[in-house]
Amino acid sequence: MKLDTLVLTIVCVVAAVAATTWLSILILAAIQVPFAWLALLPAALVGFIV
């Protein structure tokens, strides 16, 4: 795999994770879930990816 393809893939994955986290935070803030659950979102995303 070429380096530019690898970098593009990593950038797309990071952007998708950031967008998913941002949307999740907006949804959870809208329904006023306690902030302890927000700390679990990144861990859940990492667990899902790995």
Question: Mean pLDDT lowest for which of 1-5, 15-19, 36-40?
Answer: 36-40
pLDDT at residue 3 above 70? yes
Question: What does the alpha-carbon distance between residue 12 and residue 4 come to, in Å, rounded to a whole number?
Answer: 12
- Structure tokens of 33? 């879930």
- Structure tokens of 19? 């967008």
Contact assessment for residue 21 and residue 46, using Cβ atoms and an 8 Å cutoff: no
Rounded to an integer, the average pLDDT of 3-29 is 88
Q: Token pair 């935070």 is at which residue?
A: 25
Confidence of residue 9 (pLDDT cuts 50, 70, 90): very high
- Structure tokens of 12? 């797309």
Contact assessment for residue 25 and residue 45, using Cβ atoms and an 8 Å cutoff: no
